[in-house]
A and B are shown apart, each in its own frame.
Chain A
Amino acid sequence: MGDARKCENCARPAERGYQLALCRTCRDTLRRRPVPLSVKAACGLALLFLAVGLMRFPARLQAYLAFRRGSQAESAGDYPLAVAQYRTVAQQFPESTLAQVSLAVARGRQAESAGDYPLAVAQYRTVAQRFPESTLAQVRLAVALHRVGKSSECIEVLRRLKGQEIDPTLLHEIKTLIDEVSAPRREMRRSIVAMKQEVRGMRQEMTVLDVSLRSSSAEIETMRAAIRSIESTARLGRSADRVRYRQLIAKYNHMVDEHNGNASRRKSLSHAYSERVEELNALIDEYNRTAIPHLRSGK
């Protein structure tokens, strides 16, 4: 083992094969350099934490596997099994958004599949209130609200989703929902266009009538002046054209009747116009109130 060289530390024969001349004892002493107590204590503490972590691990693993089984069952439409699996996860992670939302959504889906939409709404509403950041809960709530006919509430929920990143897997469902919710709005839009045309027609008719009334009014005034002139001639004892007078009176009366008829028509038209404009404004308000925001994907 030893070579001609001497140990640089103790002058005993040095070990062979090393550049540094050290005897076996000195090398063993140096290679077994003790680890400081503070480092040993820190390692001990880390090992203690690791031991506690490992003790908790089986329950965590069980929960993780239950979550996977729950997801698979949910995808396969086996909601009772999904609820049972997610319940295990939720018990292990009571504060986890994912665990709680998954459980509530599975319960809601179970209710949906049984046709009990009000119960589904209640489930989704609870979880959406507790975890407002969960887009999954919000989307499911919107769908269930639409199914129970609460479209305005559904739109409110969709509005709350604006600006949030939506999971791409939910986008298709949201698109379908928006299409369904938008159907009455499309109908409303058609009604608005038709009513606008009708109102525009009424306004034109009123303008025509106004022109006609102004013209007939001027004509009546002219005729009234002509009649008064004949009457004043007759009062002075001069000869008056009786035939023309009678013709003028008859024409005057006819024109006044016509004018009064037009004025009455104008008045009723104006009333109908005001009512229609009010209806149109209310419809436009409703249309704007039910506007559905554009939602964006999370990817």
Chain B
Amino acid sequence: MRIPGELIALATFPGVAIHEMAHQLFCRLFRVAIFDVCYFQCENPVGYVRHEVPRKTCHHAFIALGPFLVNSLLGAVIGFPAALAVTEFGDLAPGCWLDYLLVWLGVSIAMHAFPSLADAASIWDATQASRVSCIRRLMWKPLASFAYAMAFIGFNPWFRLAYGAALVRLAPGLLVRAFA
């Protein structure tokens, strides 16, 4: 059975909005003018941020890959207090709907951490710009390739879901084991 990407995005819309907000946040931090933002829509692309070309390549990289850090971190943090209860004890008591809600929120946000192909392409294009020196180009190419690799992995919604679930499921257990 094939589930359309739009349907998956609809079921996990908070992640899309956070992804776009992360782009917006890094644009704001690096003084990049934003022309248009769509936090969620039921068509492809499900969300976007249109901004000017940043001044530096590293700004470009942060804006394109920022959502990967922000969504991963936020997904783990939001899912953290509830994941132990849900994954370890599967508590189905009447008051535990909040746990399930937080887990859904955490997984939704974490699974939209992956950069889109457009994000990866924007880093690649930035490294190709004429003002970038050959040495810097060589420095940034691996990151652009990494972004492409992440984008291709994230293209499959089931991989994204697996990443989100793994992050929310494993992070609390690992942290508790490390510090307990």
Chain A residues in contact with chain B, CB under 8 A? Answer: 17-20, 22, 26-28, 30-33, 35-36, 39, 42, 46, 49-50, 52-54, 56-57, 60-61, 63-65, 67-68, 89, 93-99
Contacts and interface: CB of A to CB of B under 8 A. Distances in A.
Given A42-B17, A95-B91, A95-B92, A32 B84 contact: no
B23 to A, nearest CB: 11
A22 B96 CA distance: 51
A53 B53 contact: no
A54 B81 CA distance: 6
A27 B81 contact: no
Nearest to A47: B78
A230 to B, nearest CB: 102
27 contacts: A18-B52, A18-B53, A19-B53, A20-B33, A20-B52, A20-B53, A22-B52, A26-B33, A27-B31, A30-B35, A30-B52, A31-B27, A31-B28, A33-B24, A39-B39, A42-B14, A49-B101, A50-B77, A53-B82, A53-B98, A57-B81, A60-B84, A61-B84, A63-B89, A64-B176, A65-B180, A96-B91
Given A46-B14, A95-B91, A64 B82 contact: no
Contacts of A67: 88-89
Contact of A56 (B24, B81, B180): B81
Contacts of A60: 81, 84-85
A266 B84 CA distance: 78
A293 B88 CA distance: 31
B103 to A, nearest CB: 10
B28 A94 contact: no
Contacts, number: 93
A30 B78 contact: no
Nearest to A69: B180
Contacts of B77: 50
Given A95-B91, A95-B93, 18 more contacts: A17-B55, A19-B53, A20-B33, A22-B33, A22-B52, A27-B31, A30-B33, A31-B27, A31-B33, A33-B24, A35-B24, A49-B98, A53-B78, A60-B84, A63-B89, A64-B88, A96-B89, A96-B92
Nearest to A90: B89
Contact of B55 (A18, A57, A61, A68): A18
Interface in B126-180: 176, 180
A167 to B, nearest CB: 16
A52 B89 contact: no
A18 B39 CA distance: 26
Contact of A68 (B17, B37, B53, B180): B180
B41 to A, nearest CB: 13
A35 B105 contact: no
B89 A50 contact: no
B61 interface: no
A127 B176 CA distance: 29
The 5 A-B pairs of least Cβ separation, nearest first, read: A30-B33, A53-B81, A57-B81, A96-B89, A20-B52
B120 interface: no
Given A22-B52, A32-B28, A60-B84, A49 B89 contact: no
Nearest to B13: A42
B93 A94 contact: yes
Contacts of A57: 80-81
Nearest to A18: B55
A39 B33 CA distance: 20
Nearest to B175: A61
A219 to B, nearest CB: 86
Contacts of A63: 89
B90 interface: yes
Contacts of B98: 49, 52-53, 56
Given A18-B53, A31-B31, A65-B180, A50 B102 contact: yes
Contact of B34 (A33, A98, A99): A33
B21 interface: yes
